[in-house]
Amino acid sequence: MQKFALGFVTAVVVVVLAGYICIRFGLMDSRADIPVSTFEQKLAMPSLDASVDRRAPEVKNPVESNDVNLIAGMKIYQANCSNCHGDIGHPRGMFADALYPRAPQFMEDAPDMPESQNFYIIQHGIRMSGMPAWKQSLSEQQMWQVTAFLNHMDKLPPHVSTAWKTEAGASQINDSSHDGSKMEMKDMKNMDMPIH
């Protein structure tokens, strides 16, 4: 039994040491434009889900899901989130493939977490990804409005859906001066809104 325990401890130490060496000496590729490994895909999302499930308080969205709040949430989403997560006019966000790990594309796969967990992610962000903590830029009400919008994104009332098409079209017109719909970083720095 003693030999088994010693072997087990040795194996754990070797694995941890190998991981440390890979990270510390730059053996892991840090580029964002390489394919996400299958191992990371199978490990990262379940790990994120478990972390959010453990930490997000179970609270009810205090914002009513009416047209006014859904449109307010849509405008915040369109201004701050659509470049990464896509919108009604561009199902794949312009930065969809530029982030590592890749940002979820909500037009392809609507967010299905409970609202309290979506709010938690919006509020606190996700480390080592492109998802910032929005609590420094948005009020609590605004974050709840975006949460309500995300929760109804795949089943919006017609009035809200029409408003979103108009808003997404206006965003496309604003971006079209940069041949294609891609904005340059110098232009983003001059905008009044936070970048996501």
Predicted TM-score (pTM) of the model is 0.79
Please, are residues 63 and 151 in contact by the beta-carbon 8 Å criterion?
A: no
Domain coordinates in residue numbering, the chain: 38-189
Q: Which of 85, 188, 195 minimizes the C-alpha distance to 136?
A: 195
Tell me the mean pLDDT in the region 35-64: 91
* Phi, psi for 144 (deg, rounded to 5): -70, -35
* Tens digit of each residue's pLDDT (9 = 90 or more) over 104-128: 999 999 998 999 999 999 999 999 8
Q: Which of 157, 152, 93 minimizes the C-alpha distance to 118?
A: 152
Q: Which of 133, 131, 136, 148 minimizes the C-alpha distance to 73?
A: 148
Which of 77-86, 90-99, 146-155, 168-177 comes out lowest in average pLDDT? 168-177
